[in-house]
Amino acid sequence: MIGYGFMGAAHSQGWRVAPRFFDLPFEPRMSVIVGRDAARVEAAREKFGWESAATDWREVVAREDIDVIDICTPGDSHVEIALAALEAGKHVLCEKPLANTVEEAERMTLAAEKAAEHGVRAMVGFSYRRVPAVAFARQLIGDGRLGTIRQVRAQYLQDWLVDEDGPMTWRLDKDRAGSGSLGDIGAHAIDMVQYLTGTVLDSVSGTMHTFVTERPLLGESVGLSGTASDERGRVTVDDAAWFTARLSGGAIGSFEATRFATGRKNALRVEISGSAGALAFDLESMNELQFYDATEPAGQQGFKRIIVTEPEHPYMDSWWPTGHALGYEHAFSHEVRDFVLDIAAGREPSPSFADGLQVQRVLAAVERSAADGSAWTSTVPSTRK
Binding site for ligand SOE (CB under 6 A): 6, 158, 184-185, 266
Distance between start and end Cα atoms, the chain: 57
Query: How many CB atoms are located within 10 Å of the residue 340 CB?
Result: 24
Q: CA-to-CA distance for 161 and 322, rounded, in angstroms?
A: 37
Residue 41 CB, nearest distance to ligand SOE (Å)? Answer: 20
Which C-beta is closer to ligand SOE: that of 42 or that of 173?
173
Which C-beta is closer to ligand SOE: that of 77 or that of 266?
266
Q: What are phi and psi of 201, to 5 degrees?
A: -80, 115
Q: Which residues contact 178 (CB under 8 A, 6 or more apart)?
A: 75, 76, 97, 99, 100, 101, 363
Residues facing 203 on adjacent strands: 246
CB 284 within 8 A of CB 266: yes
Residue 125 CB, nearest distance to ligand SOE (Å)? Answer: 8
Q: CA-to-CA distance for 376 and 370, rounded, in angstroms?
A: 10
Residue 236 CB, nearest distance to ligand SOE (Å)? Answer: 17
Which C-beta is closer to ligand SOE: that of 254 or that of 266?
266
Which C-beta is closer to ligand SOE: that of 331 or that of 357?
331
* Cis peptide, bond prior to residue 311, ω within 30 of zero: no
CB 138 within 8 A of CB 172: no
Pick the closest to residue 79 from 62, 55, 95, 63 (CA basis).
Answer: 95
Q: Which residues contact 26 (CB under 8 A, 6 or more apart)?
A: 340, 344
Residue 188 CB, nearest distance to ligand SOE (Å)? Answer: 6
* Alpha helix (H) residue ranges in the chain: 6-21, 38-48, 57-62, 78-87, 102-116, 132-142, 174-177, 181, 187-197, 330-345, 353-372
Which C-beta is closer to ligand SOE: that of 44 or that of 268?
268
- Give 44: exposed, middle or buried? Use CB within 10 Å, 0-12, 13-18, 19+: buried
Give me the torsion for CA of 349, 351, 357, 360, rounded to 10°.
Answer: -160
Give buried/exposed letters for 240-262 (b at 16+ CB in 10 A, else e).
bbbbbbebeeebebebbbbbbbe
Which C-beta is closer to ligand SOE: that of 30 or that of 257?
257
Which C-beta is closer to ligand SOE: that of 10 or that of 137?
10
Residue 127 CB, nearest distance to ligand SOE (Å)? Answer: 7
Residue 264 CB, nearest distance to ligand SOE (Å)? Answer: 12
Residue 48 CB, nearest distance to ligand SOE (Å)? Answer: 17
Residue 268 CB, nearest distance to ligand SOE (Å)? Answer: 8
Residue 6 CB, nearest distance to ligand SOE (Å)? Answer: 6
Residue 71 CB, nearest distance to ligand SOE (Å)? Answer: 14
| 3-state DSSP assignment of residue 155 | strand
Which C-beta is closer to ligand SOE: that of 104 or that of 184?
184
Q: What are phi and psi of 234, to 5 degrees?
A: -85, 130
Which C-beta is closer to ligand SOE: that of 74 or that of 274?
74
Which C-beta is closer to ligand SOE: that of 159 or that of 310?
159
Measured from each CB, the residue nearest to ligand SOE is: 184
Q: What are phi and psi of 368, to 5 degrees?
A: -65, -45
